[in-house]
Chains A and B, each alone.
Chain A
Amino acid sequence: MARGGGFQKGMEKPKNAKATFVRLMSYLKPYLGKMICMVLLIVLASLANILQTMVLEPIINVIKGEPLGAYQWLADLVAPSGEKMHQFWALVIVMLSIQLCGVLGSLGYNWISTRVTTKVLRQLRLDMFSHMEDLPISYFDQRTHGEIMSTYTNDTGMVRELLAGSFPSIVQSAILVCGFVVAMLINNWLLTLVCFVQIGANALLVKFVGGNARKYFARQQKSLAEVNGYVEEICAGQKVVKVFTHEPQVLEEFDKRNNEYRKNAFKSNVFGNSFGPIINNVSHIFYAIIVALGALMLVNADKTTNTFSLWGVFSVAITTGSWVSFLEFSRRFSNPFSQLAQVATSIMGSLAGGERVFQIIDEKAEEDEGYVTLVNCKEVDGQIQETTERTHQWAWKHFHKADGTTTYVPLKGDIEFEDVTFSYVEGKVVLKNISLYAKPGQKIALVGSTGAGKTTITNLINRFYPLDKGKIRYDGINVEKIAKDDLRRSLAMVLQDTHLFTGTVMENIRYGRLDATDQECIEASKTANAHFFISHLPDGYDTMLTADGANLSQGQRQLISIARAAVADPPVLILDEATSSIDTRTERLIEKGMDALMQGRTVFVIAHRLSTVRNSDAIMVMEKGEIIERGTHDQLIEQKGQYYRLYTGAFELD
């Protein structure tokens, strides 16, 4: 379940914001040129934004016939005739060009940012996935699928917010703030001071309101998580609720949590929603003050003689044009600030999301110091030689560092456990001093109750987990020396939960060996007893299987997975043949398939039905991580131990 999704994570803070940020930025490196372009375009757009307001001043002054002051040069430049009408229209055209630049700039940077962002997101997802595929099985044991999947969508979504939203927004706001301050100072330093007071007031309000909003938001998210958790649990057990007609009680419980959530959400929303009106109206108040002060200055500027008046302080140079354009500035001055405040909270969320993405990427990959590889070989004069031909004969290529020689050991499928001890979690031993051997072609059965360690044994052969102590040898070679990929190629597994992939039946069978021909796949499915039902599917071997083969019965899925193992054609086979949810008759069909598959291979079989164990070469009875009895069926019956009790039904496996 995608529990938690975005909603619980919104307020989470990143542990190391700076490192995560730097790392995210490194993903932008391939787009350095584009990013520079983008920043330049943002600068262009922001400057245009400021300049077009500045140009308002000379335009109005031309209309009012007041002196152009600092803008005289501009008027002279664009309208050398000095004629009022010329000046006016020339300045309007200047304004038009500035605005067009601004529009083009913002179009351009948004375009680039969308392009770059989607590409970076792809790269992040790819990196995550590639790395995930290389992670050890233990990683997947410790996490829920929902947790990992949410990283691919929610967390990368939050990173997108940063790249496409916050990042351009910061650059823009920063430039706007600086630009506004400069433009306003040029315009009128005294009124600018008033604006600074306004910003200060805003900051205090933001701090107070924002602090409360954050506090209640955290509570809101917590109670939301509780509501959602409850929903999850009840929905999962919905049928049990029905059977017990427990609906009224469930609704009551739900109502309690739901009300708690509403209470907290209300408080959080009150603060959150009043943000806008507060900032807005405070700016109106300051606006009124600036209007009044500006008017006074204008009067004072007009009456230069009035020096001893109390209002003389305000005799700063001002014209109607500069007054109007300052009013424009002051109205827009607070925008970039509130934008920055918004961005600040969203950046923290984005970085927390990014951090989770990098956590996956940084997770330690499966270690592999194996250097013994599997190669095609042929026999020449009794000597094994490596070859690039596909000979269907394989050998372990073993380079000995000590004397610099290379030996070739033919692949036979001889497995030996020597005193193996293993624990998933440190201190909780799952397997204790296990020793066993399987000669090529032998069938070894593992029996015992759940948790006895049967599946663990098979997981160690293909090095899904590292051993604590002891050695496992494959054809006499310590498996730790064998390259993992090659080791796994020499083994095939049929697991108790059958997992198929989205794709056709043929593709699923071919999963066992990618270069298998259609004919080989069909042969394999005949071996597995699967050909009959496959050829009766609507599109035969081309039938599309949906997610995890949901359109097939469990028995049919199991048969396909047997065919998949048959195509791989390895010397060693591991069958975890738990068929508890398959009825006896279907099981018999599967058993036939399995029997055919086992021919001529070394087989480890985790047996649940004792009838399938009897013809094994050796039976290991396991309990609490130890082999307590071993021998052939007859020997074990003779011993009258646990196996005997199991067999006579005094004790049943689960």
Chain B
Amino acid sequence: MTKQKSFFSEIMPSLKGCWLVTLLCPVFMLGEVVLEVLIPMMMGEMIDKVQTLLEQSATADVVFAEIGATCLLMVIMSVVSLGCGFAGAALSARGGTTFARNLRNDVFSRIQSFSFYNIDKFQTSSLVTRCTTDVTNIQMVYTMLIRICFRAPSMLIFATIMAFVRGGDLAWIFAVSLPVLGTVIGILMLKAYPRFSKMLKKFDKLNENVQENLTNIRVVKSFVREETEKQKFFNTVTDVMNSQYSAEILMVFVMPIMQLVMYMTRLAMVGIGGNMILIGSTSLTVGALSSLLTYTVQILSSLMMIAMILVNVTTSRASAERLDEIFKEVPDITGGDSTEKIESGSISFKNVNFAYAKDSDNYVLSDVNLEIKSGETVGIIGGTGEGKSTLVQLIARLYDVSTGEVLVDGRNVKDYPLKTLRDAVAMVLQKNLLFSGTIEENMRWGNPDTTQEQIEDACKKAQAHDFVTSFPDGYQTELGQGGVNVSGGQKQRLCIARALLKDPKIIILDDSTSAVDTATDEKIRYQFEHGLKNVTKIIIAQRIASIQNSDKIVVIDNGKIADVGNHDQLIERCEIYQEVFASQVKGKEEGGDVNG
């Protein structure tokens, strides 16, 4: 319950701009409800009036005059009530959609403020579901809440009041039936909730099972395991069936129980009330009895509505919790407020330790000390998962060090505003992406004010210009989502060009030319060396050839810097470097022998 409560306080800001609507809407709803409740009373009075007129043997004209006015009033009331209803509908639509927009915006902006650490925690697919399906679920509940949440209880209250006013002697029947109904429904709900959450878990299992088979279909087929998989799936769906049945069967009871209570209440009214009229022990009239019957329906159906809201709120609880997690997640990296510009690309690591999990000493990097001078070219080499990418990501503050510090241009990276820092440090990530839009639009990510000339220049440096101009639409070529319209190597080159356009002081290539052929790779390296003299270049590579000519090569092993030096020094003294070199280059040299 506390979780729910705090969720509401989290989404409060999303209500900005809908307060007026949220407050006005119930006013109109209330108007509609009051009129709706008054109508059965007038009807009952009309029945009694007709009875009296009959007893007085009035003529048709008199009857018409007497009841005509009441009828007209009822019609007018209906029209007013219609107006109120329409206004309520329009206002609730306005409120609901505004709220949804705000909420979606808040969730999305929140995600934008997340650091890599936060993103890793949630994973992409889960972020997407939260921002789409979960928001839609909450929106539905909100719209329902403002439409029904005021309407149903106020209907319940007014109808109950009217029932007591009109049918004093019989109203106690409600005092019995309402609590009975409330208790029974409450118990069912309480019992249903754990069963429904169990059902949802089984559905997750179902999804997992299907997903697994989709990704593994080639394995299933090549080992001819279709029958085994079918058997597994049979167990999964049987679980789903049983859990769904056990949850829904409880809901099956809700409607008939409501019906039973409603029927019994009406029956009690007719039986007890009728008996009273017959033995003449009451002032109750047939008109009053008839309007009481209508009130029964109104009271119980508004109770039913409330129950329905509860069901919906319960089922959307999972969504609320998931959104809550987003709001609760504290973006762990915020920029500093230094106004200093970054003038040089010097970098230094001082006693840096880093662990992905907070408060953990399971360090991915430990005791890292490294000095990089502005304008240097630095190669980084080492095994997968040894910490190469992590090391460079600390420079752009994509992650924060656990202990120690990273300095750029002599200042701790934490001092700079993120924009200043990241504009100065351009990174081409290992898993890089282009976005839907034209090539030119993608290039402008680096800098929105870039001229066409600058774009072409950067693309030339990244060896992308030639293939871009070979496309029929050149720089206006549509890339499609994730850049599906270009090959892996082309994508990498475009990503490098995009990073160059930031005009950075430091550029980092994290294994960014793995799909580029050696000759092109070499050209890119040449351009880097000669065209980016004042820019610090950090290159992570699997291939020794890509970093062989660097000023400095950093060998990372098991989260530690094993050695730093140039190619010749390392080949002399660093065992790991020798090993990697041997595995990659030996063949080449033998090839050379054949040649020679």
Which A-B residue pairs are the 4 nearest by beta carbons?
A277-B85, A269-B93, A273-B89, A583-B383
Residues in A whose Cβ lies below 8 Å from that of B469: none
Residues of chain A lying within 8 A (CB to CB) of residue B580? 584-585
B85 and A281 contacting across the interface, CB-CB below 8 Å = yes
Give every chain B residue within 8 A of A276 (Cβ-Cβ). Answer: 85, 89
A511 neighbours in B (Cβ, 8 Å): 219, 223, 225
Contact for B591 among A251, A266, A582, A644, CB less than 8 A = A644
B573 at the binding interface (Cβ < 8 Å): no
| Cβ–Cβ contact B396 & A654, under 8 A | no
- In B231-254, the 8 Å CB interface with A consists of 233-234, 237-238, 240-242, 244-245, 248-249, 252-253
CB nearest to A587 among chain B residues: B583
Q: Does A190 contact B (CB under 8 A)?
A: no
Q: Does B230 contact A (CB under 8 A)?
A: yes
Of A228-236, A438-446, A527-535, the one contacting chain B is: A228-236
A-B contact sample (15 more), CB < 8 A, given A273-B93, A285-B78, A484-B224: A60-B274, A88-B278, A121-B241, A126-B230, A152-B207, A245-B418, A269-B97, A284-B78, A291-B71, A298-B50, A306-B59, A320-B47, A583-B386, A586-B383, A588-B583
A133 engages B147 (CB within 8 Å):
no
Whether A255 and B54, one on each chain, are in contact in the complex, defined by CB atoms closer than 8 angstroms, is: no
**Chain B interface bracket (under 10, 10 to 19, 20 to 34, 35 or more):** 35 or more
Cβ contacts under 8 Å, B260 to chain A? 99, 103
Complex contact B230–A311 (CB within 8 A): no
Q: How far is the CA of A106 from the CA of B238 in the complex (A)?
A: 27
Tell me the A190-242 residues at the B interface (CB within 8 Å): 224, 227-229, 231-242
Q: Count how many pairs of residues, one from A and one from B, have CB atoms less than 8 Å apart in the complex.
A: 438
29 A-B pairs within 8 Å (CB atoms) are namely A60-B289, A96-B267, A118-B241, A126-B233, A129-B230, A137-B218, A227-B132, A235-B127, A251-B112, A254-B108, A273-B88, A274-B89, A281-B79, A281-B81, A282-B78, A285-B74, A285-B78, A291-B74, A295-B63, A299-B50, A299-B54, A306-B59, A488-B224, A500-B216, A553-B385, A583-B542, A584-B383, A638-B594, A644-B591
* Bound Cα distance A138, B125 (Å): 25
Stretch binding the partner chain, chosen from B161-169, B307-315, B371-379, B419-427: B419-427
Scoring A residues 303 to 323 as 1 if CB is less than 8 Å from chain B, else 0, what string do you get?
100100111000000001001
A489 at the interface (CB under 8 A from B): yes
Task: Name the distance in Å between B318's Cβ and chain A's nearest Cβ.
Answer: 14
B327 close to chain A: CB less than 8 A: no
Contact B267 A610 (CB under 8 A): no
B contact residues around A5 at 8 Å (CB): 132-133
Whether the Cβ atoms of A111 and B422 lie closer than 8 Å is no
Q: Is the CB of A251 within 8 A of B89?
A: no
CA–CA, A288 to B77, complex, Å? 10
- Is B528 an interface position by the 8 A CB rule? no
From B402-410, B430-438, B563-571, give the one contacting chain A. B430-438
Cβ of B209: which chain A residues have Cβ within 8 Å of it? 502
**Contact A547–B212 (Cβ < 8 Å):** yes
Contact A244 B208 (CB under 8 A): no
- Contact present for A238 and B90 (CB under 8 Å): no
Q: How far is the CA of A237 from the CA of B433 in the complex (A)?
A: 6
Q: Is B445 an interface residue (CB 8 A)?
A: yes
Note all chain A residues with C-beta closer than 8 A to B206.
125, 152-153
User: Residues of B contacting A588 with CB < 8 Å?
Assistant: 583
Contact with A along B115-142 (1 / 0, CB 8 A): 1100100001101110111001000000
Given contacts A125-B237, A239-B429, contact A149 B214 (CB under 8 A): yes
Partner of A491, one of B59, B63, B222, B435: B222
A interface footprint on B262-289 (CB within 8 Å = 1, 0 otherwise): 0110010011001101100000001001
Q: A59-B270, A583-B542 are in contact. Are A137 and B217 (CB under 8 A)?
A: yes
Question: In the complex, which residue of chain B has the Cβ closest to the Cβ of A311?
Answer: B60
CA–CA, A218 and B240, complex, Å: 32
How close is B31's CB to chain A, nearest CB, in angstroms?
11
Task: Give A274's nearest chain B residue, CB to CB.
Answer: B89
The distance in angstroms between the C-alpha atoms of A245 and B112, with both chains bound, is: 10
Tell me if A15 is interfacial: C-beta within 8 Å of chain B.
no
Q: CB distance A295 to B224 under 8 Å?
A: no
**Distance, CA A9 to CA B572, complexed state (A):** 65
B270-A92 in contact (CB<8A) = yes
A64-B286, A102-B259 in contact; A580/B60 too (CB < 8 A)? no
- The 8 Å CB contact of A149, one of B207, B267, B294, is B207
Cβ-closest chain A residue relative to B293 = A328
A547 to B211, CA, bound (A): 9
Given contacts A125-B237, A240-B432, A614-B587, contact A586 B384 (CB under 8 A): yes
| A323 CA / B113 CA spacing, docked (Å) | 67
Q: Is the CB of A244 within 8 A of B82?
A: no
Once the chains bind, are A132 and B213 in contact (CB under 8 Å)? yes
Is A32 among interface residues, defined by CB-CB distance under 8 A? no
**A260-297 contact mask (Cβ, 8 Å, vs B): 1 or 0:** 01100110011011101110111011011101100110
**Docked-complex contact B92 and A581, CB < 8 angstroms:** no
Q: Does A402 contact B (CB under 8 A)?
A: no
Q: How far is the CA of A89 from the CA of B517 in the complex (A)?
A: 97
Q: Determine if B429 and A240 form an interchain contact, defined as CB atoms under 8 angstroms apart.
A: yes
Q: Does A521 contact B (CB under 8 A)?
A: no
Q: Which of A56, A114, A296 contacts B249 (CB 8 A)?
A: A114
* Chain A residues in 8 Å Cβ range of B252: 107, 110-111, 114
CB distance from B265 to the nearest CB of A (A): 11
Which of A244, A281, A462, A488 has a CB less than 8 Å from the CB of B502? Answer: A244
User: In the complex, A137→B220 CA distance in Å?
Assistant: 11
State whether the Cβ of A36 lies closer than 8 Å to any Cβ in chain B: no
Decide if B194 is an interface residue (CB 8 Å cutoff). no
Is B592 in contact with chain A by the CB < 8 A criterion?
yes
Q: Which of B244, B249, B433 contacts A240 (CB 8 A)?
A: B433
| Interface contact A133-B519, CB-CB below 8 Å | no
CA distance A284 to B41 in the complex (A): 13
A385 near B: Cβ within 8 Å?
A: no
Known A-B contacts A262-B101, A311-B64, A637-B594; A584 and B94 likewise in contact (beta carbons under 8 Å):
no
